[in-house]
Amino acid sequence: MKIWNSTNGNLIHTLKGHKGEVFAVSFSPDNQTIVSGSRDKTVKIWNYQDGALLKNISANGGIVSGVSFSPNGKVIASSHVDKTVKLWDFKNGKLLQTLTGHTSYIYSSVFSPDGQMIASASDDKTVKIWKSDGNFLKTLPEHGDVVLNVSFSPDSKSLVSGSFDNAVRLWKVDAKQVKTLEADSLITNACDWLHDYLNTNSNIKQDKKLCVD
């Protein structure tokens, strides 16, 4: 693993310790630590300032394909080839909970920015959503192929998923309900926004009849 200065491109640290390919890395919300997940079935926590290894967590036998911090930095979620998402206490490295339900590899798992939900993307073609306390919420309708990644919107009200089926899907979510934004709804929302933008910007010279039936 290498840490680079994004301004000048200089190498800051090279982090050594994993014994297999590193599949995922993530900064803590306070930018002081880095978490990594590897084929060697460990989750490692590093000090950003000096590159020192702070903790080595054995992932209980599962190759680690994804890692992410909770918004408050107190919990780490790790995604695994053994079909689970594991939640770890950042301070002591202890396993808090194992989330099960997927039927194949999990490639990524993320917390919502408000810290209320966790979403996971899997080889089983589905996205699953849990409450942050581990209670299962819902399985979203299948993609046509493997789902590689998921990401929440900054307001935690929407979720986007990307798949090998060449599709990106947008979902409306909250901690109480999850529903799909159908294509017609997406087009309507986009046209409403476009109409407002065109009508309120006098500098726009293009045809303002877009999205007209």
What pLDDT score was predicted for residue 39? 95
Q: What is the CATH number of the domain that holds 32?
A: 2.130.10.10
Does residue 125 lie in a domain region? yes
CA distance 135 to 127: 15
What's the number of domains the chain is made of?
Answer: 1
Range of the domain at 66: 17-200
| 46 pLDDT more than 50 | yes
CA distance 10 to 62: 34
Mean pLDDT value of segment 163-189: 65
Q: Which residue has the higher pLDDT, 174 or 164?
A: 164
Does residue 10 lie in a domain region? no
What pLDDT score was predicted for residue 59? 84
CA distance 87 to 69: 10
Sign of CA dihedral 54, 58, 63, 65: negative
Q: Which residue has the higher pLDDT, 193 or 34?
A: 34
Does residue 11 lie in a domain region? no
pLDDT band for position 130 (50/70/90)? very high
What is the number of other CB atoms lying within 10 angstroms of the CB of residue 121? 30
| 202 pLDDT more than 90 | no
Does residue 97 lie in a domain region? yes
| 172 pLDDT more than 90 | no
pLDDT band for position 201 (50/70/90)? low
| 61 pLDDT more than 50 | yes
Does residue 213 lie in a domain region? no
Threshold 0.85, pTM exceeds: no
| 96 pLDDT more than 60 | yes
Does residue 105 lie in a domain region? yes
What pLDDT score was predicted for residue 6? 92
Does residue 212 lie in a domain region? no
Interior angle at CA 123, CA 122 and CA 126, nearest 5: 50
Tokens of 85: 């998402």
The closest alpha carbon to 171, from 196, 145, 147, belongs to 147
What pLDDT score was predicted for residue 91? 94
Does residue 12 lie in a domain region? no
b/e for 61-81, b at 16 or more Cβ within 10 A?
ebbbbbbbbbeebebbbbbbb
